[in-house]
Amino acid sequence: MTSKNSLQAVLDRQKAANTDTQPSQPAPPEAADYASQATKFVRPVREGKKFVGGHFTPNVAKQLRLLAAEEETTTQALLEEALELLFIKKGKGSLQRG
């Protein structure tokens, strides 16, 4: 029985062939921490707000968009209306807009 399986032997030969034929490449420059350097852009209309969302079937998403189009409003406004009704139903009062 061989000490290495045939796949590992092929990989080892390939690695050895690559290191022998390719000139040594210079080390890549250190990756800068772009996340800390970049300033995050926030649209003014979203300032001070949090995203609330969910995953629904395509039919639900389509129905919501159709309803918004029929009422000439946005899905955002319809979701706000739905949450308002939910909070009232659950005894949490109405939404506090700020």
Domain that holds residue 79: 55-98
Q: What is the DSSP letter of 73?
A: S
Residue 97 lies in a domain: yes
CA distance 68 to 72: 6
Q: Are 68 and 74 in contact (CB under 8 A)?
A: yes
- pLDDT (tens digit, 9 = 90+) per residue, 86-97? 999 999 988 776
Average model confidence (pLDDT) across the chain: 83
Residue 85 lies in a domain: yes
Secondary structure element (H or E) that encloses residue 88, with its range: helix 75-89
Residue 24 lies in a domain: no
Q: Which pLDDT band holds residue 60 (cuts at 50, 70, 90)?
A: very high
Residue 83 lies in a domain: yes
- CA quadruple 61, 64, 70, 74: dihedral positive or negative? negative
Residue 8 lies in a domain: no
Q: pTM surpassing 0.85?
A: no
**Number of domains making up the chain:** 1
Residue 16 lies in a domain: no
Residue 19 lies in a domain: no
Query: Which has the closest alpha carbon to 86: 52, 56, 40?
Result: 52
Q: Which pLDDT band holds residue 41 (cuts at 50, 70, 90)?
A: confident
